[in-house]
Structure 1
């Protein structure tokens, strides 16, 4: 039984007022899971978002909405389809150059994106009506996805305890901001490397790391200088605000990620959105059962990319037509002429429920983290078709563990696509390996979602978690690496050696003079 003091501390966090600043698109899908759970526990949720969001509805029974006074023009969802075409062109370069061209292109996009986000933050902070409304609401906590920076900036301005629901941050994966990341075995985001690197791979990893520093300090940070000069104390920068967050709920699991150093205020919640499969709608269930012993292949490119180039789509459809398996393909656009009778095209599919169905044999995925964690959770091998951003790194992690195969979309042919599919279907090692990952992922003392809720309520109860923040995060870089100590030691050592040489020279000169006098 719980002690009276335990009941007291738990009750202090129930009914708290939480301000949520989410990221739209697929990020909202997992943020909503946490919001629903917080609501079920009696917390009052307010979501700050644009009035013309893609996925975030303004009218909800579980939260109140406050609209930001920015982003008047609705975002063009086709932009991600254009990104796919750009990445396909960049992938034509030789392997070593390919990732650097991708990183350079992303740095250019980041520069423009962060300038836009700085304008969003500035407009919000300049809106006296909005700021007064938020301050008078007396929120107990800010919960935000820092992939967009407005939440961290606003939370710091309002002096609220902050919890991050985080994976990507600034120019890459968020570990590189908060935790030590030795480049000898921790692959830099975008490098498409694993943690067993030879000399050339470590060299490549170091070059990626140096370029990421350039992105952070010369591309991203300057975009916010005006906002910080006007609204924050001198010396404030983006990293200092982000590092002031109390708890980082990291959407990662070391079943999927490579082991690496971490920090006390990081809690891992990878796969928290996964759940047991629900019964399918009658038509989908009938289609699944019609596959017989061959089973079903599920294909989805996620929520942001609606279509591939038509020639690639035709190639994939023709390959599917030659398989005895049935196929359910989330597809938007003109129906491929080579589509077989075994393939069902749908505008939307219940992905988690399909991956948890006993008839599902393979998941063809672009490599988004939500889908890959669902594949791990349900133990379904993956054929990766990475398209943009972190998807290339994500698929590498499953491939290294023997649970996936990868097809380079630019080089995709009917033959190599079929070859990889058949290998996944016929070679039992892939299913065995990913089912082992599934077992490891599920073998936890507390579910990832319960872990997330505990730490959110922990920060509310204790008004922060300053005792979990490392002092190293506030040190200047030269102090962090003890370069000042090294400089002093080298100076003292150099002075001692120089002094010793002078003394020896003086002694030698005296002796030589004494010998010369008798002569």
Structure 2
């Protein structure tokens, strides 16, 4: 599938980037740090393209990660940090639990384990020989530091230690966390953290607005308690830094990059020191392997995958049976990504199973008719980018809001895991396969995604080098970033006005009462 643009758009695009390259060809090779020790394999798909693109520009990029890359590019150095994989599996168990009480209990348990995992992962990172060498050398300096601002806030301290501008690089949809840090308070009714199913409702009622505010406030308190306090304790325990306020360092960040796009996320005001980089991981599909092509044999197919940390292993045996038996009754072939322990789900002439498939190559194949997914934002963006309708079975986090949005915008459907049955699953699949409006709407939204003056990756590279050229570009920072919520929304003024009006009303009432007693 190729992008289609008019002649004028092409001329303008190339003229724009030719001017940028000519104007800034004098940019010297910079030293860049990316600190992402706690992240998932799908998160790495978001920051890897930028790391490689910056390296191709001649910059030296150091990536601290727990997920090794088998094909490290030139100018990219990876520092590998050990991270327990059991936590991701347990989070998957929480996500796929269909028992409400058990879900709540497990969620508390996972939050406690996250605290332990955060401490241990950053302890391993800060004691890694290569990082210790950097910390012990007083001359170590980076020109730019990228930090994932959830679970990895220790990176703020490293940015300060290495005298580097800080970029908050969010490989997930939690925009309000970024905007608040950078000094702007999103309206939680329309720009929630996307974990609320009714995010961006066109008709927000009292109950919806109340829940949105509670979730918004809860996120910030959970971040402080579960993530930030733990990392501040670690810095103190290692005698690296005493009294470091990581949230204060976060508020001094130079720039923010959101993993969002207006076609998927809440429409909201943005600051000049922020950009949207949604779809940064999306690429045009490549030819399938001979093995896959031979098996498909030119027939239509659907692709089923539940992401990088939820798999068929997390489904109950009943849910596995429903999924497997229903897929075998379909008039199209099925490519099914399974977990390592799903031995009962074996390939046959209609269903091809495997623990890994080239997802974007399959979605971009002209015979792909439908994508069945958990509805993570990366999978959702890839599905629409390649013009394939999506059936979402949400399990956790933003997946519920994503499913609601896909259904509302007409390029997908939602099916709750507790409603999963042979009938409901088959009806949902056949509706999308037989109703052409889903594919038409997917193509329409896709046209919004690709109609831009530059790609998300080109934007990210340009602004990264802009920050390097201008030592953090603090001139882009919002001047009211240190103003509190009370003053930002003028709540103190409204409160003062309310008190004055109340006092005047009270005095008027007292005077009226006195006059009535005096003259009647």
For the aligned pair, the TM-score class normalised by the smaller chain equals: 0.7 to 0.9
In structure 2, what is the equivalent of residue 266 of structure 1?
Answer: 274
Is the Cα–Cα contact under 8 Å of residues 381 and 424 in structure 1 kept in the other structure?
A: yes
Matches within 5 A, 1:447-458: 447-458=455-466
Is the Cα–Cα contact under 8 Å of residues 157 and 232 in structure 1 kept in the other structure?
A: no
Q: Please report how far the alpha carbon of residue 231 of structure 1 lies from its aligned counterpart in structure 2 after TM superposition.
A: 6.0
Residue 478 to residue 387, structure 1, CA distance change in 2 (3 Å): same
- TM superposition score normalised by structure 2: 0.82
In structure 2, what is the equivalent of residue 139 of structure 1?
Answer: 142
Matches within 5 A, 1:10-159: 10-22=24-36, 23-49=39-65, 53-56=66-69, 61-66=74-79, 71=82, 74-77=83-86, 79-89=87-97, 91-93=98-100, 106=107, 109-110=110-111, 112-114=113-115, 116-117=117-118, 121=122, 129-132=132-135, 135-147=138-150, 148-159=152-163
Is the Cα–Cα contact under 8 Å of residues 389 and 439 in structure 2 kept in the other structure?
A: yes
Give 2:441's match in structure 1, choosing from 416, 433, 436.
433
Mapped to 2, the partners of 1:433 and 1:355 lie a distance apart of: 16
In structure 1, what is the equivalent of residue 310 of structure 2?
Answer: 305
Residue 320 to residue 214, structure 1, CA distance change in 2 (3 Å): same
Mapped to 2, the partners of 1:4 and 1:277 lie a distance apart of: 27
Q: Secondary structure at the match of 1:474?
A: coil
Q: Please report how far the alpha carbon of residue 489 of structure 1 lies from its aligned counterpart in structure 2 after TM superposition.
A: 4.3
Q: Please report how far the alpha carbon of residue 58 of structure 1 lies from its aligned counterpart in structure 2 after TM superposition.
A: 9.7
Q: Please report how far the alpha carbon of residue 405 of structure 1 lies from its aligned counterpart in structure 2 after TM superposition.
A: 1.1
Give 1:315's match in structure 2, choosing from 300, 314, 322.
322
Q: Please report how far the alpha carbon of residue 165 of structure 1 lies from its aligned counterpart in structure 2 after TM superposition.
A: 2.2
Is the Cα–Cα contact under 8 Å of residues 175 and 191 in structure 2 kept in the other structure?
A: no
Q: Secondary structure at the match of 1:136?
A: coil
Is the Cα–Cα contact under 8 Å of residues 67 and 80 in structure 2 kept in the other structure?
A: no
Mapped to 2, the partners of 1:186 and 1:5 lie a distance apart of: 35
Mapped to 1, the partners of 2:187 and 2:115 lie a distance apart of: 27
Q: Please report how far the alpha carbon of residue 496 of structure 1 lies from its aligned counterpart in structure 2 after TM superposition.
A: 6.3
Residue 337 to residue 166, structure 1, CA distance change in 2 (3 Å): closer
Matches within 5 A, 1:69-468: 71=82, 74-77=83-86, 79-89=87-97, 91-93=98-100, 106=107, 109-110=110-111, 112-114=113-115, 116-117=117-118, 121=122, 129-132=132-135, 135-147=138-150, 148-168=152-172, 174-175=178-179, 177-178=181-182, 179-194=184-199, 195-196=201-202, 197-226=204-233, 237-291=245-299, 295-306=300-311, 307=313, 308-332=315-339, 333-336=341-344, 341-468=349-476
- TM superposition score normalised by structure 1: 0.83
Matches within 5 A, 1:500-519: none
The structure with more radius of gyration? 1
Aligned residues, how many?
A: 493
In structure 2, what is the equivalent of residue 515 of structure 1?
Answer: none
Mapped to 2, the partners of 1:384 and 1:473 lie a distance apart of: 38
Q: CA RMSD in A?
A: 3.7
Residue 188 to residue 8, structure 1, CA distance change in 2 (3 Å): closer
Unaligned runs of 5+ in 1: 513-519
Deviates further, 334-343 or 467-476 = 334-343
Mapped to 2, the partners of 1:421 and 1:411 lie a distance apart of: 14
Deviation string 1:237-259 (CA, Å, 9 cap, x unpaired) is: 33322232212111111111121
